[in-house]
Structure 1
Amino acid sequence: MERKSFLDQEPPPGYIAGIGRGATGFTTQADLGSSRRLPAGSFALEDENNVDDDGRFLDADNDDTGRFGSVSDDDGDADRIYDAIEAKLQRKKARPRKRAQKNALEDENKVQVEEISIGQSIRTIGEEFKEYKEKLSEVSAEDWLNLPDSGDFTKRNKRARKEMQERQRFYRNSDFVTSGLRDVGSTGDQALLDEKDVDLTGLSLAKEKVLAGQLTSLRDDKAESVDAETYLSQLQDVSGEISTEIGDYHKTRTLFAKMRETNPYKPDAWIASARLEYEAKKYKRARELIQQGCEKCPKSEEAWLVNIEMNKQDASVCKVIIAEAVRYNAKSVRLWLCAASLETDSLSKKRILKKALEFLPRSSELWMEVVKYEEDETMALRMMQKATELVPGNVLLWLEYARLGNSKQILEEALEKVDSADAHIVWIELAKEEEQRTGNEVKIGHIVESCFEHTSLGRETWLDIASQCEKDGFSLVARAIVFNSMNLGVTDDDKLDIWKAEALERSPEISRSIYMFITANFPQDIESWMNFIKMEKTLRQYDQLYVVYEMATRANPKYELFYLMYAKDKWKEDGDVEKAKAIIDEGLQMNPDSEDLWFAALKLRSGEEARQLFVKCREQLGKKTARVWYKNVTFERQNENLIAAKELAEQGTQHHPKEFKLYLQWGQILEEENRLEQAAEIYYKGTLLCPNSPLLWVYLVRAYEKLGNLIKARSILDQSVVSNPLSDQIQLERVLLEERAHNRSQAERILSTALKKLPHSAVLWRQNILYAKPSHRKNLYTTALNSTNDHPMIILTIAKDMWLSGKVARAKQFFDACYEKDPGYGDYYIHYYAFLMKHGTKGEIRELEARFKENDPHSGEEWCVLMKDVHRKDTDLELLRKAAEKAAGKI
């Protein structure tokens, strides 16, 4: 801001600051000194007569007169009174200071305080800064001039506000934008707008620049600088939306008219104008404009094509237009193809295309199109032969030629003439031809190997080509491509991980080929074999699955799980028991000490054959594992040979005295013989040798309960808690014992105490829910689920409770949640089957049975009891149906 000149001038004589603004105030005698009121003429300029008047004010301090005359007596009295008061105040202030000085003198350790006047203090401060003031003389004139100014802050806010107003612009807005902004505010999106920091000043400047650019583009002398071609070409691409995207039709129309006038020989302006009119439903005007455009720009094939498009309702007019178009553009393939498409019969189409070939004999598109309408195969073959002679580098022509003639010979000839970038296409076609003709995988592999030697494509590209070959039905070619491409672009360190990832992402045939390649190069990689098997089972390609099993067992003969899976699938899916036996026997030859293979072999046999095999198994594994003994005991119990079973149990305890299952089976056999006291003795013996087995304690308690000795049963339970303090099974048995003794209150107290010790036990929470009142159960659901980490037992308990409460829909939701949590939970199938029997359909029941077969459940209290029943004769599915019928009968 410009500095006012008067600020640097001397004030006039007698000038009093602020007097012009009314700042008169008041003036005392001390302010005026010995000055007198001067006459108006005394403020004259200096001259030779008054040069010595500069000292006329030196006696002002000693003058007793005031501004308005001499000092009166009243003024003197007032001055004396004020002086007396001031002296009295000074004396009062001096007393504390003297007292402090006296105390300081008495105490030598304190800082001595020296009283000085204000003038003395000012002089002292001045002396402290004297050194720094002297250094100012060393500052040069240039440094003084370069000192920054403090700045002019006069009316600063007013200037900033004025500048902001000058930058603001106002524009007319469309109703569409206004309504959009209104909708934004009403739909709750205003919060989103408020969160964004909108720079209104920058937006205003940007709009100003855009407006200036648009105005500049309309000037005649600057019309050449507008990139109209790009704009109009983009406008053509969205011709279907032009009516909604152009805000002002009339302004746009005027703009296009100006562009046509400026550049009449550029077809883009004519095309854009015609499309604008066409979208505005002014068809006649559009056709006139595009016709003018064709006349102005007859060499533009795009203009002619648009003209035909706008006259497509009248075929005769289109033919006239296309005839005129090809007269000016005889080298345009698009126009010739358009002319052929306007004809309805094949003969006319072929005639036009042949005419086009006279002008464009090296156009592969025309050759490919004309051969479609040639009915004579011999003539079509000659035409393609001529086409390949004229355009030898086009691979599509060679492929069509091979399709019509001797494909192998033609393709071999094509390898020498096509471009190197397209050579792999010919090689792949040769491989496809070999697969289609002979199906010889070895020859196909050689052809694909030769292809890889002459090309340099990447692994991903080859896998995509292999996928396309699979879709076309050439699986052998796809496999050969995979085998030859797997090592491209990979290192030895990470190739296995890359191959596994590719196998999981690709189509079935490609994945199968990749797994075959992996297992061939890494035969001991169990994970790849497992993924291979899982994929084949998912696809239900059992023939291929059995081939994979054969390869897996041969590659890993010591891995017993492959034999077990192979035998199980052969038994379950094909029902071929003999083949399953042979598979297990083969596995036993390679793994004679495998318990799982021995028991799988025993499971596939029955009667005397199984009994003889048990003898061999005991000889082989009897001293190593107790499993063979209790499996043999179970077999004899299932065949109702209790004497042999009891003998085997006794022999087993001699070899394995700490196997609790042998004592359980021995005691159960005695219970079946109604010898409860002997059974209790065996259970008790088992608890002495296996104190950490909760099930033995439970059977011992139940034996004494059957004998009617509840006191003994309670005593045993108390003893079992000492040996198994964290067993929820024993705690539950304590609760159930009191329940069976009709002592519900004691049972609830025991349950409450047990839950405090074992807050994560699912069986205890289930019992707690069952004991709770119906009105209180809802609150227990969430607590139980959170405490047990959504255990399937709790979810199933809630589903059953919902069902009993009549909430069928909610019950079904919890049944589904139970399945998602654990598909192998057997109790779910029992109760959901019962639920579907009353509230489901036959289709849902069949779906549940399919799930049951697929997951083969082996968990759940109720289901395990049914599965381990030695007297059952039913299959698993029949057992499920009977259990479900029994559960449904209780509802």
Structure 2
Amino acid sequence: LAEARGAVLSLKLDKMSDSISGQTVVDPKGYMTELNSLKITSDAEVGDIKKARLLLRSVTMTNPKHAPGWIAAARLEEVAGKVVQARKVIAEGCESCPTNEDVWLEAARLQTPENARTILATAVRHVPTSVKVWLQAAKLEPTDEATKLVLRRALEFIPNAVAIWKAVIELEDVDGARLMLGRAVECVPQSVDMWLALARLETYERAKQTLNKAGATIPTDHTIWIAAAKLEEANGKDAMVDKIIVHAMKRLRKYDVRIDRDTWLKEAEACEMADAPLTCAALVKHSLALGVDPEDQKRTWMDDADTSASRGAIVTAKAIYHHALQVFPTKKSIWLRAVALEKTQNGPRVMELLENAVQNCPQAEILWLMAAKEAWVGGSVEQARSILRQAFNANPNSEEIWLAAVKLEWENDEMERARALLAKARSQAPTARVWMKSVLLEREARTHGDGDAKAREEALLTEGRTRYPTFEKLHMMAGQFYEDLGDLDGARKHLRDGLASCPKSIALWKQLTRLEEKTKGEMKARSVLESGRLKNPKNPELWLEAIRLEARHHNDKGQENLMAKALQECPDAGILLAESIDIAPRTQQRRVSLTALKKKDNDPAVCLSVSKLFWNERKYSKARKWLERTVQLNPDFGDGWAYYYAFELKHGNELQREDILNRCIKAEPRHGDLWCSISKQTLNRKKKVGDVLKLVVASLPVINIPQVVAT
């Protein structure tokens, strides 16, 4: 029995003691936690307690100087509900291990507050340098004054205890804290926190002196230099900020202190949060290139800016872009990123950035166009004209700049100016798009009653189609022109001529289908679509048009057959999968939607159809979730925004409606069958995105038109 007990004890003690010094490596709190988890609910567990008591008794008798054994024995009695016995055991422990702070702390824990104070008063005589014991003794004092007395007494024994200095300083008023901190930095000169706390409580001049002393005492700590820079910035000494950071970098290098760039950038973000943007920018400027090869700088810095922006550190991200542009002033992509970030914050420097951008990247058309648009949106048409004139000088034959100049005049109802610019563009920089815009201008003029516009439009269409026979849009516009005039045979002829030149143009096939359906009925339209599918196999748009043709004429069987064939030929086409959900019988829609999602769960059209399914089933939270997914997947999909806004009109509140409207305006969608059918009407050309959204919503079958118009 003795040998068995010895073996068990050996195992326990091996875990509890160090093999060389014999000192404890056991966390007493671990013992406590383990014992706390015991619940005595059966005779077996009572037996376990007895065994544990015998074992721990053996431990304390064998090695009475082993403090964790006493702590565990006391905790065992406490768990067993014998608090008095626990106090007796730990009292023995205090006698056996008078220099162990954990035993005294455990003894105090097991007592009432009054008795605990007495025990800790005894403890500090045995372990006068124990920070834990002094802090616990102070904590038990009933008043702040008594607590301060205990802590000050502690400092007489351990004047270098930072934790005690912090505890006593927290109890002081501002003047008292200043005095205590002055003494603290003498006693613990290596404590950066003490120096910084003292500097924060001092006047500007005295704070400078304090930080200078701190820097001299602890020359290897960068936070002191950052605090000095922030101090200068807070007191309007902006020019000093950069000098201090430069000096800091030199001093740290002198003492061979190596701080990686990630740490510096995190410090920069912390300065931003502390409302010290100049210090933030200086840190970025002087640390960004650390450890980065020149060929990797641009990519690395862009990643840094993205990371900072994602954490909400916008000033840091702007500082990164600013420094990157100092190094790479001719990189268009960096200018675009910097401008985009400024715009997301509605920053005042957008125009300034764009002006600098076009000076450094004069051949970057997009920067000129953005600058002109910014001026125009800001209400300065003349400034926009001036920018575009400069853009012409830098890019004399740019189609984009010609068309931007035309749009500026057109949007401001300067039709003659726009017409003159287009005429000049057709002679100096002729392109198919220039011709198309010329036709659109005359179409609008014709719509508004200009009697001469019809002849000009027809002449432009004739010449444009001759010059650019493979540009489908001119053929489509010719068909629309003659259809508007009531010359359906002429429209048909021009569309067929267009298809002869552009047999792959799906839009032309669809337009001819609609014309034939209107004039000669569904049989002829069906024939056109079959021809189109022969020349353009596996095209989901033509299949969709054929399916919808049958739906318009209530041919359910034909619609079903065509859908089956379409999905065989184009099994992963999102628009077909979405339509299959919409037209499925109500009892089968759930199954069809699951099939569609398995094939194409990231297609906005499919997600929109799923949201409509949940809407019809009155599962509004799920419908909202799928509508949100739709617009997240493709913010350019106008139909998704229209249904989302319609949904909130029916089932949302004013805040939700306003949010969707504003997000749609910001996204500026341009695609979607329903969206384009409204936005591309001549009468709606100048309407703002929000107005177009409401018109599209008003055309939906799920909404009450007067309600939308009123909204």
TM-score band by shorter chain is 0.7 to 0.9
Q: 2:218 — aligned with what?
A: 419
Indicate if the aligned counterparts of 1:653 and 1:662 stay in contact, CA closer than 8 A.
Answer: no
**Counterparts of 2:201 and 2:665 in 1: how far apart (Å)?**
53
Change (3 A) 1:342 1:758: closer
**Counterparts of 1:750 and 1:259 in 2: how far apart (Å)?**
86
Structure 1 residue 848 corresponds to structure 2 residue 660: yes
Structure 1 residue 878 corresponds to structure 2 residue 691: yes
**Counterparts of 2:333 and 2:365 in 1: how far apart (Å)?**
15
Change (3 A) 1:765 1:236: closer
Pairs within 5 Å for 1:592-611: 592-605=396-409, 606=411, 609-611=414-416
Cα offset, 1:536, TM superposition: 4.5
Cα offset, 1:863, TM superposition: 1.6
Cα offset, 1:402, TM superposition: 2.8
Q: 1:653 — aligned with what?
A: 462
Cα offset, 1:214, TM superposition: 1.7
Indicate if the aligned counterparts of 1:384 and 1:397 stay in contact, CA closer than 8 A.
Answer: yes
Cα offset, 1:612, TM superposition: 0.8
Cα offset, 1:782, TM superposition: 6.3
Amino acid at match of 1:852: C
Tell me which of 492, 504, 507 is aligned to 2:294.
492
Pairs within 5 Å for 1:21-36: none
Indicate if the aligned counterparts of 2:285 and 2:320 stay in contact, CA closer than 8 A.
Answer: yes
Change (3 A) 1:708 1:468: closer
Pairs within 5 Å for 1:493-512: 493-506=295-308, 507=311, 508=313, 509-512=315-318
Cα offset, 1:853, TM superposition: 1.9
Which 10-residue stretch deviates more, 655-664 or 707-716?
Answer: 707-716
Q: Secondary structure at the match of 1:340?
A: helix
Structure 1 residue 305 corresponds to structure 2 residue 105: yes
**Counterparts of 1:693 and 1:817 in 2: how far apart (Å)?**
31
Q: 2:231 — aligned with what?
A: 433
Q: 1:857 — aligned with what?
A: 669
Q: 2:146 — aligned with what?
A: 348
Q: What are the Cα deviations for residues 606-662 of structure 1, in whole angstroms up to 9, with x where unaligned?
A: 365243134224313555212122213222322323632541442353252413433
**Counterparts of 1:264 and 1:847 in 2: how far apart (Å)?**
72
Cα offset, 1:407, TM superposition: 0.6
Change (3 A) 1:439 1:554: farther
Structure 1 residue 457 corresponds to structure 2 residue 262: no
Q: What are the Cα deviations for residues 409-451 of structure 1, in whole angstroms up to 9, with x where unaligned?
A: 22213322x23433x23222211211111150x4211111111
**Counterparts of 1:371 and 1:790 in 2: how far apart (Å)?**
59
User: How does the TM-score come out when normalised to structure 2?
Assistant: 0.79
Structure 1 residue 235 corresponds to structure 2 residue 28: yes
Indicate if the aligned counterparts of 2:174 and 2:201 stay in contact, CA closer than 8 A.
Answer: no
Cα offset, 1:805, TM superposition: 7.7
**Counterparts of 1:293 and 1:381 in 2: how far apart (Å)?**
42
Q: 2:7 — aligned with what?
A: 213
Q: 1:395 — aligned with what?
A: 192
Indicate if the aligned counterparts of 1:629 and 1:648 stay in contact, CA closer than 8 A.
Answer: no
Amino acid at match of 1:876: V
Q: 1:145 — aligned with what?
A: none
Pairs within 5 Å for 1:63-78: none
Pairs within 5 Å for 1:121-200: none
Q: 2:89 — aligned with what?
A: 289
Instruction: Give aligned pairs, total.
Output: 671
Amino acid at match of 1:403: R
Unmatched segments (≥5 aa) in structure 2: 40-44, 705-711
Amino acid at match of 2:432: A
Indicate if the aligned counterparts of 1:503 and 1:515 stay in contact, CA closer than 8 A.
Answer: yes
Change (3 A) 1:298 1:689: closer
Cα offset, 1:235, TM superposition: 3.3
Pairs within 5 Å for 1:727-746: none
Pairs within 5 Å for 1:726-805: 792-793=604-605, 796=608, 800=612
**Counterparts of 1:347 and 1:435 in 2: how far apart (Å)?**
38
Change (3 A) 1:471 1:836: closer
Indicate if the aligned counterparts of 1:402 and 1:408 stay in contact, CA closer than 8 A.
Answer: yes
Change (3 A) 1:348 1:557: same
Q: 2:708 — aligned with what?
A: none
Q: What are the Cα deviations for residues 775-812 of structure 1, in whole angstroms up to 9, with x where unaligned?
A: 67777656767788875445545655776688877766
Indicate if the aligned counterparts of 1:653 and 1:663 stay in contact, CA closer than 8 A.
Answer: no
**Counterparts of 2:325 and 2:151 in 1: how far apart (Å)?**
55
Q: 1:557 — aligned with what?
A: 362
Cα offset, 1:720, TM superposition: 6.0
Q: 1:444 — aligned with what?
A: 241
Name the structure where helix makes up a greater proportion of residues. Answer: 2
CA RMSD across the alignment: 4.4
Q: What are the Cα deviations for residues 67-122 of structure 1, in whole angstroms up to 9, with x where unaligned?
A: xxxxxxxxxxxxxxxxxxxxxxxxxxxxxxxxxxxxxxxxxxxxxxxxxxxxxxxx
Amino acid at match of 1:436: A
Pairs within 5 Å for 1:682-721: 682-696=494-508, 698-700=510-512
**Counterparts of 1:561 and 1:210 in 2: how far apart (Å)?**
86
Amino acid at match of 1:426: I
Q: 1:167 — aligned with what?
A: none
Change (3 A) 1:866 1:449: same
Cα offset, 1:314, TM superposition: 3.0
Amino acid at match of 2:124: V
Cα offset, 1:274, TM superposition: 2.6
Pairs within 5 Å for 1:326-365: 326-365=124-163
Indicate if the aligned counterparts of 2:589 and 2:613 stay in contact, CA closer than 8 A.
Answer: no
Q: 1:627 — aligned with what?
A: 433
Change (3 A) 1:243 1:548: same
Q: Secondary structure at the match of 2:290?
A: coil
**Counterparts of 1:841 and 1:867 in 2: how far apart (Å)?**
27
Q: Secondary structure at the match of 1:230?
A: coil
Change (3 A) 1:882 1:409: same
Q: What are the Cα deviations for residues 165-189 of structure 1, in whole angstroms up to 9, with x where unaligned?
A: xxxxxxxxxxxxxxxxxxxxxxxxx
Tell me which of 71, 74, 96 is aligned to 1:274.
74
Change (3 A) 1:591 1:329: same
Q: 2:709 — aligned with what?
A: none
Indicate if the aligned counterparts of 1:636 and 1:642 stay in contact, CA closer than 8 A.
Answer: no
User: How does the TM-score come out when normalised to structure 1?
Assistant: 0.64
Q: Secondary structure at the match of 2:263?
A: helix
Tell me which of 460, 463, 486 is aligned to 1:674.
486
Indicate if the aligned counterparts of 1:387 and 1:397 stay in contact, CA closer than 8 A.
Answer: yes
Pairs within 5 Å for 1:74-85: none
Cα offset, 1:693, TM superposition: 3.8
Change (3 A) 1:591 1:773: same
Cα offset, 1:408, TM superposition: 0.4
Q: 1:478 — aligned with what?
A: 280
Tell me which of 637, 643, 652 is aligned to 2:452.
643
Change (3 A) 1:470 1:688: closer
Which 10-residue stretch deviates more, 453-462 or 351-360?
Answer: 351-360
Change (3 A) 1:241 1:566: farther
**Counterparts of 1:810 and 1:373 in 2: how far apart (Å)?**
54
Q: Secondary structure at the match of 1:398?
A: helix
Q: What are the Cα deviations for residues 475-497 of structure 1, in whole angstroms up to 9, with x where unaligned?
A: 32232222222232333344444
**Counterparts of 2:394 and 2:586 in 1: how far apart (Å)?**
60
Indicate if the aligned counterparts of 1:738 and 1:746 stay in contact, CA closer than 8 A.
Answer: yes
Cα offset, 1:763, TM superposition: 6.4
Amino acid at match of 1:239: M
Cα offset, 1:236, TM superposition: 3.3
